[in-house]
Chain A
């Protein structure tokens, strides 16, 4: 597949050839009312290409913070993250943004579709931002793949929750990222549509050969991943 060829070129520079995401010694401390509050400490995580990893943990265990740091959305107090061989925090915020645009797709609990845009325009957005000449063709194709070809011109508020999350999946995959980060992707959905979205996500993951890191508190969902990492009180549980 052409994607792995491209990734191979990138990997030439990495320390570990099979690793897409490597986190070493991640710690996060925030000031809270004068005292230090430790959210994460000594997180070590390595995700290899094509792998699906679930990060499990109760509310407040720090899993969302970890996801934000892995995506380069938030900065750790200590430690490093390498994404596609690049040291994320050696880059400035703008360079991280560009790397995200190239290599990472996101699925959020609250969908995060732009309300003013139609389904099609939401999916086109990542391609438009990276300057693709014809963003509409690929966007239509992915939307067709997620079964929404009849709802291209609907705005999010006219779509059901399950449909919105399918649009979000289409948006995540349209730029063919090497890594998909999912934050409680079924958290806002009822059981049936949640199951459908998850099935779709794993299918797409296989088809596009994407590596998946998913944050969830759902054990059943975690069980569908090849590997589960448990967070408790900011540490990886043994």
Chain B
């Protein structure tokens, strides 16, 4: 143990272990930090989704809650907020408008924050508490309908209240804004004075609860057992699909990057250990001479590496903790609520990954050390290392795959990445080998003039296997680097485009069929980009495959809710550009067909061929599902769960819906629109759009950080691959000079060798990065990635430049030393 520790210190001092330690630390750090992200930030994101609810749990009632219920909050030590909702006419001067009034207690919402702006179209900011007594917040369309900007007074019942802010975002709002009157938010304590809430009024009473999961669950159980008629408990209705999509992408992005970093680091460890072993063969032979047994040698080195591993893994885990703190910082705005404390699990996982990497990729070459024959001290040619075959690493790779699958929590993803990586390494090796053989074919070499150039080519051929390994390793490292520089930028750009800055920020609903053309013309005149109008028919699902259904047929809360509500159905001939078919085919002619969004189909257990019956205004129609669609939720365009061909639904009463973009500062257009078409309802989704873009921006920032780890691992592989043959090349150069080659000739022949390898590695890496980039874009991110010209220029060039630089550095080193010295050292 003490000797192993001393050996560790000595080898560390000699710089033999630094690449290894760095590779380990990077692998552990990336796995740990991403683990933390999944564990800690993921938890917070789930909680973030609760912000859409304003609480962890919401209790709704159509009559006031009894005190005994309220007391349970104290009992379970839960935070409580209250609100009541009702519809009332609001007045300002001569104008009036039906408003959806929400009166909230001062501490509402318990999760998330509302956002307000000083005027429509102005930048909004987070509001720390609800409206103060005597004030109201109005939604933008209520501001225009009542012509009541901040500072104006509105009358509500018998009260006069001052407009204090424009409400841009409230938690519960985003999910379903189609059928709600514009919001008026006021203080709960102002309600009695309005005289609006009478025993017979239609009022919804809300209780909001937040707290620790345990008490919350007990409280929920209590509440469900004591609910009266007209009361219900809501918990998280899975958050907004647009935000969810971005977060899912970020998690997959991070997961993959961590996988990549870990595997690439594994390669760096294998290369680093191999070099360590080659440099320690003599030393081990001497130690065998000095009386060390095989077991002792293996034990000492295993212990040395084990100690190194533990130290490096610890450093990596600490780095990981620091990194996740940085990520959490970058995401603080997005997450708002304070993060749950990190658990130790990710650090343990990272540690395990590190040890598996060490065992799997360092042990196979290390075992060779014990087999070194002691007679090597007298006859050096004996006991050279036999190349470690791929099979030796198979066990390590498998163990790693297992760990990563466990860590990623996604077996398919983990296996695909590990398998794909192994296949890529094999392909790189084969292609490099074939390319080297072709390049050095006699017919090619005959064309080359110059003794040393020909010697260089011959050298490439002689070392075809070793060089192919080196080229494959270089290509691998370069792939990682290219992927993380060029392809990453392209992916991030494509991602940003998915929540485009010119996304629609207003929905207009309730457009009557005969108003579609006039409204279209109006918008065109006002210079608003052309908008699509979709017919919308509201219908209730009444049957599946001929059987009558109701919400009682579904166990899941969300499914119940979907069935209970009216569906917004639409009809159209052509598939909208932001939809794509994932199963079945789009409408053919003359069939009773339906196209359904794949998520809702899955939730409600529908498959292609199922027959659905909808009832619209007392009349029913039935049709079969012939296609499933995937929607781009983050496009902020009009989306429908269920779509039919026009023939099927044209007879039902429909109104039209559209989405368009109003540039900030041009909100006056909306006033003119309302004036000309008073029945239209315009919904402001600008805040939601900004939030979606903000989410993407912050996630991108977080993701970039993790990239640094993978980039570091890639650079380590490059370095390890470059130095792998340095010793041998130095010896060869010394021999050549002894036999009369000039410095120029030696460096010329080596330069040729390096350039050929650089070109092949660069091309391979470019291919690899492009292929992986496309795969990532299509399979993981569901984004379109245009081919990148920059990558195709930079990839091969990077290979050439890197190896030229290496050739220059190496020839300085090789030629700097006198041949005699080099040879004496290496005899």
Q: Which residues of A come within 8 Å of B, CB atoms?
A: 64, 67-68, 71, 73-74, 93-95, 97-102, 106, 108, 110, 112, 114-117, 121, 125-126, 128-130, 155, 157, 161, 171, 175, 183, 188
CB–CB B293/A64 < 8 A: no
Partner of A129, one of B3, B374, B377: B3
Main secondary structure of the interface of B (DSSP, over half): helix
Provide the residues of chain A in CB contact with B380, threshold 8 Å: 110
Provide the residues of chain A in CB contact with B293, threshold 8 Å: 93-95, 97-98
**Residue in A108, A114, A183 with the greatest tally of chain B CB atoms within 10 Å:** A114
Known interface pairs A116-B11, A117-B10, A125-B290. Does A68 touch B296 (Cβ–Cβ under 8 Å)? Answer: no
Mark interface residues in B361-383 (1 if CB within 8 Å of A CB, else 0).
00000000000011101111000
B209 to chain A, nearest CB (A): 65
**Residue in A112, A126, A157 with the greatest tally of chain B CB atoms within 10 Å:** A112
In the bound complex, how far is the Cα of B293 from the Cα of A95, in angstroms?
7
Residue of chain B at shortest CB distance from A75: B375
**A–B complex contacts, Cβ < 8 Å, 6 sampled:** A71-B374, A73-B374, A73-B377, A101-B292, A106-B290, A128-B6
Provide the residues of chain B in CB contact with A155, threshold 8 Å: 14
CB–CB B13/A116 < 8 A: yes
CB–CB A73/B373 < 8 A: yes
Provide the residues of chain A in CB contact with B16, threshold 8 Å: 116
Residue of chain A at shortest CB distance from B287: A129
CB–CB B290/A100 < 8 A: yes
Mark interface residues in B326-340 (1 if CB within 8 Å of A CB, else 0).
000000000000000
Given contacts A100-B374, A115-B283, A157-B825, 12 further A-B pairs with CB under 8 A are A68-B375, A68-B378, A73-B289, A94-B293, A99-B291, A110-B380, A112-B377, A114-B283, A117-B10, A129-B296, A183-B378, A188-B827
CB–CB B288/A97 < 8 A: yes
CB–CB A112/B296 < 8 A: no
CB–CB A100/B13 < 8 A: no
User: How many interface residues does B have (CB within 8 Å)?
Assistant: 32
Provide the residues of chain A in CB contact with B291, threshold 8 Å: 97-102, 126, 129-130
Mark interface residues in B283-307 (1 if CB within 8 Å of A CB, else 0).
1011111111111100000000000
In the bound complex, how far is the Cα of B295 from the Cα of A73, in angstroms?
17
CB–CB A108/B377 < 8 A: yes
Residue of chain B at shortest CB distance from A129: B292
Provide the residues of chain B in CB contact with A97, threshold 8 Å: 288, 291-294, 374
Provide the residues of chain A in CB contact with B374, threshold 8 Å: 71, 73, 97, 100
Provide the residues of chain A in CB contact with B294, threshold 8 Å: 93-94, 97
Provide the residues of chain B in CB contact with A110, threshold 8 Å: 380, 824, 827
Residue of chain B at shortest CB distance from A116: B14
Please tell me if B282 contacts chain A, counting CB pairs below 8 Å: yes
In the bound complex, how far is the Cα of B293 from the Cα of A67, in angstroms?
20
CB–CB A112/B292 < 8 A: no
Provide the residues of chain A in CB contact with B295, threshold 8 Å: 94
In the bound complex, how far is the Cα of B292 from the Cα of A74, in angstroms?
16
Main secondary structure of the interface of A (DSSP, over half): helix
Provide the residues of chain A in CB contact with B296, threshold 8 Å: 129
Shortest beta-carbon contacts, A-B, top 3? A101-B291, A116-B14, A94-B293
Known interface pairs A98-B293, A101-B292, A157-B825. Does A112 touch B375 (Cβ–Cβ under 8 Å)? Answer: no
Among B420-466, those with CB < 8 Å from A are none
In the bound complex, how far is the Cα of B11 from the Cα of A117, in angstroms?
8
Provide the residues of chain B in CB contact with A171, threshold 8 Å: 290
CB–CB B375/A73 < 8 A: yes
Residue of chain B at shortest CB distance from A183: B378
Provide the residues of chain B in CB contact with A73, threshold 8 Å: 288-289, 373-375, 377-378
In the bound complex, how far is the Cα of B16 from the Cα of A115, in angstroms?
11
In the bound complex, how far is the Cα of B526 from the Cα of A25, in angstroms?
111
In the bound complex, how far is the Cα of B374 from the Cα of A94, in angstroms?
11
Provide the residues of chain B in CB contact with A94, threshold 8 Å: 293-295
Mark interface residues in B1-41 (1 if CB within 8 Å of A CB, else 0).
00100100011011010000000000000000000000000
Provide the residues of chain B in CB contact with A64, threshold 8 Å: 378-379
In the bound complex, how far is the Cα of B10 from the Cα of A114, in angstroms?
10
CB–CB B827/A101 < 8 A: no
In the bound complex, how far is the Cα of B375 from the Cα of A155, in angstroms?
24
Residue of chain A at shortest CB distance from B379: A64
Residue of chain B at shortest CB distance from A108: B377
CB–CB B287/A125 < 8 A: yes
CB–CB A116/B10 < 8 A: yes
Among B370-402, those with CB < 8 Å from A are 373-375, 377-380
Provide the residues of chain B in CB contact with A68, threshold 8 Å: 375, 378-379
Provide the residues of chain B in CB contact with A125, threshold 8 Å: 286-287, 290
CB–CB B286/A112 < 8 A: yes
